[in-house]
């Protein structure tokens, strides 16, 4: 592995102008070879008639809302109107309006004037974010809204405000032009066109327009686009990415937070992997100007060759108790609501639709691996997908989680459970096939299912539960019916998982989220026989990870069920638990997910304690003690993974 957070000598081109020196230093700091080709300059409008007109209307009390788009523009606006009006009059008038700041830079400019915005637009601060914030926090209908614009007018934004009933006044303050010296820009275009640059970073939309404007002037648009096929493209945020899409270019990386430092740091940590991936894809016939993660082709050689590489990957070696060069890491729910990419996809489809459209499920799975640089992917699905073909009905209610329409609470209801048809979940297998083809062969692909007890509990309770009264009630009152139900689920789950293996899963995980609610005696009587049967029916040679929460008192019994890897939750001490289980089993775990809400230094301290308990012995896989929580900061997840890789490298 190469040094995390380091470009490792890659050639990095930036088109930043105003902050050119700063970005050059950042690239150097992160181990890159910088080329800074300024692409634009800001020309203030010396006599802004619109600004003076705006000031008159503002002082007269005819403006209800002022939207400040940039820090530079806010300062330029005040400077322009101060030539005709007293600053104190402007400040008093603007205080009476609803001041909207697009992110921290206008906030900082307002602070200099001892003013505060009433509404601050959250990241990533796009015009769509402004619109959604205003829709939730302010009524636009009939309001007179002034928009401080910058560079070029955002006609889409203005039009959207008008559609919501606002009376909009545009206040342009400065315009953009090409730099006076465009030779550095020409040289950058030639470098990219000749595939001599590794990474190109874009920190504003206008840089893209000017790049292609100059490329057109020198007759190099076609060559530039071809060169970008082998150049990793970093985009600072959604607005810049949208502009790249307009030119037929898909960005390869976009940070969660649209800040220059974040872009450089995050691209640096996986830059070498991205360059290798993009150039491998291009060599194998993928159009890398317009591609999605699921389009990736790593090799045109035989499947046997791919399997050999995966078999010898760090993750698979750990599953087999073999020595590894570093501790492998993946995270439960590593593709989920904490990631912007996931939220954007979910905005357009329901959870079940996302699971059932193979291309989207594969995309979510792959984006998480690319973003985090973990050592294994886990297919995006849900443990309850298997209950739908069993005939009990399944729906996911917003804010309430999964709900079973026809709960199974009697022997007769158990008898009505349909026989499992593995073809009913073909969409999961298709997602696995797509993912396995597009996934780096050095990374394992995990398929999964819910363990029979947890799935049965959902089917009986009808949803979530604290005490499992209905589940345990059926178990105790009608043990025959219980065992019939568990037998049906065990057979169905084994069939489901074997089909996942056939579709490309290298490892299988069984999630038994609720089994910790049982006593040892109940586990031995009502669960263990079925787990043994299930695991014995999994295709030989495929590692099985058995994970449950609250299972500290059951670990030796779980071991007897036959899995190769036992997942530990955060409630147990890893060293003591592994000794109790026995060193003939690999273990996975077990950082408390809530620790990811603390500081990077605290995360490193807590992670080191766990690593020191496991890294010296073969068979240790780092994970959380349960899934990533929805509001977890992405930066903290990246810091965790980088620390594990760096600290455990031999």
Active-site positions? 333, 337, 346, 382, 458
Pairing of the two strands 376-378 and 394-397? unpaired
Bridge partners, 148 (sequence order): 68, 171
Confirm if 201 and 228 have CB atoms less than 8 A apart.
no
C-alpha angle 303-307-310 in degrees, rounded to nearest 5: 140
Quickly list DSSP for 51-102. Answer: HHHHHHHHHTT--SEEEE--HHHHHHHHHHHTTTS-HHHHHHHHHTSEEEES
Question: In whole angstroms, what is the distance from residue 621 CA to residue 612 CA?
Answer: 12
Pairing of the two strands 11-14 and 199-202? parallel
Indicate if the alpha-carbon torsion angle 579, 581, 583, 588 is positive or negative.
Answer: negative
CA-nearest of 426, 562, 567, 580 to 503 is: 426
- Beta strands per DSSP E along 198-339: 199-202, 232-235
Question: In whole angstroms, what is the distance from residue 604 CA to residue 616 CA?
Answer: 18
- Beta strands per DSSP E along 81-207: 98-101, 119-120, 144-149, 167-172, 174-177, 199-202
- Which distant-in-sequence residues (6+ apart) come within 8 Å of 86 by Cβ? none
C-alpha angle 345-348-349 in degrees, rounded to nearest 5: 85
Task: Classify residue 486 by burial, with Cβ atoms within 10 Å: 0-12, 13-18, 19+.
Answer: buried
Neighbour tally for 312: CB within 10 Å: 12
Question: In whole angstroms, what is the distance from residue 37 CA to residue 214 CA?
Answer: 12
**Residue 8 vs residues 2, 26, 317: alpha-carbon distances, Å:** 7, 13, 27
Bridge partners, 377 (sequence order): 445
Residue 467 tokens read as 């005490």
């Amino acid at each position: 592995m190469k040094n995390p957070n380091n470009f490792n000598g890659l050639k990095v081109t930036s088109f930043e102008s105003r902050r050119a020196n700063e970005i050059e230093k950042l690239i150097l700091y992160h181990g890159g070879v910088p080329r800074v080709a300024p692409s634009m300059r800001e020309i203030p409008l010396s006599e802004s008639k619109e600004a003076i007109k705006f000031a008159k209307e503002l002082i007269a009390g005819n403006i209800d809302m002022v939207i400040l788009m940039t820090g530079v523009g806010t300062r330029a606006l005040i400077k322009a109107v101060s030539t005709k009006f007293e600053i104190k009059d402007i400040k008093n008038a603007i205080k009476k309006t609803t001041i909207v700041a697009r992110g921290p830079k206008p906030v900082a400019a307002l602070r200099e004037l001892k003013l505060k915005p009433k509404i601050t637009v959250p990241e990533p601060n796009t015009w769509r974010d402004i619109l959604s914030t205003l829709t939730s926090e302010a009524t636009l209908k009939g309001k007179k809204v002034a928009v401080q614009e910058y560079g070029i007018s955002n006609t889409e934004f203005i039009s959207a405000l008008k559609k919501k009933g606002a009376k909009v006044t545009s206040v342009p303050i400065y315009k953009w032009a090409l730099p006076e010296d465009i030779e550095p820009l020409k040289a950058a275009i030639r470098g990219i066109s000749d595939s001599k640059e590794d990474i190109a970073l874009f920190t504003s939309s206008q840089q893209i327009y000017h790049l292609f404007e100059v490329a057109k002037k020198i007759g190099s648009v076609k060559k530039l686009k071809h060169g970008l096929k082998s150049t990793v493209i970093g985009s600072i945020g959604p607005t810049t990415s949208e502009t790249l899409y307009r030119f037929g270019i898909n960005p390869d990386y976009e940070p969660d937070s649209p800040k220059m430092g974040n872009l450089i740091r995050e691209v640096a940590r996986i830059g070498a992997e991205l360059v290798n991936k993009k150039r491998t894809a291009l060599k194998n016939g993928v159009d890398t100007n317009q591609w999605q993660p699921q389009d990736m082709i790593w090799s045109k050689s035989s499947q046997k060759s791919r399997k050999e590489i995966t078999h010898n990957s760090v993750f698979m070696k750990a599953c087999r108790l073999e020595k590894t060069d570093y501790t492998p890491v993946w995270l439960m729910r590593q593709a989920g609501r904490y990631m912007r990419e996931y939220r954007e996809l979910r905005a357009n489809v329901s959870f079940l639709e996302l699971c059932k459209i193979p291309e989207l499920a594969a995309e979510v799975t792959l984006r998480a691996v690319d973003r985090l640089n973990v050592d294994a992917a886990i297919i995006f699905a849900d443990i309850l997908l298997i209950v739908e073909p069993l005939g009990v009905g399944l729906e996911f209610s917003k804010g309430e989680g999964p709900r079973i329409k026809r709960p199974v609470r009697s022997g007769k209801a158990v008898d009505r459970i349909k026989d499992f048809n593995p073809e009913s979940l073909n969409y999961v297998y298709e997602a696995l096939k797509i993912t396995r083809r597009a996934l780096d062969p050095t990374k394992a692909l995990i398929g999964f299912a819910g363990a029979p007890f947890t799935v049965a509990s959902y089917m009986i309770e009808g949803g979530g539960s604290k005490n499992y009264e209905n589940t345990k009630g059926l178990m105790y009152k009608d043990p025959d019916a219980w065992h019939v139900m568990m037998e049906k689920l065990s057979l169905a789950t084994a069939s489901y998982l074997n089909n996942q293996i056939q579709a490309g899963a290298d490892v299988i995980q069984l999630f038994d989220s609720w089994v910790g609610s049982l006593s040892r005696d109940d586990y031995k009587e009502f669960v263990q026989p079925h787990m043994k049967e299930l695991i014995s029916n999994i295709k030989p040679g495929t590692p099985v990870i058995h994970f449950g929460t609250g299972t500290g008192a059951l670990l030796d019994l779980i071991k007897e069920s036959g899995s190769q890897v036992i997942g530990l939750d955060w409630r147990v001490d890893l060293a003591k638990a592994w000794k109790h289980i026995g060193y003939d089993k690999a273990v996975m775990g077990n950082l408390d997910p809530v620790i990811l809400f603390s500081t990077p230094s605290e995360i490193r301290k807590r992670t080191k304690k766990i690593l020191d308990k496991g890294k010296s012995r073969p068979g240790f896989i780092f994970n959380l003690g349960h899934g990533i929580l929805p509001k977890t900061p992405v930066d903290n997840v990246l810091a965790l993974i980088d620390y594990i890789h760096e600290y455990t490298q031999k």
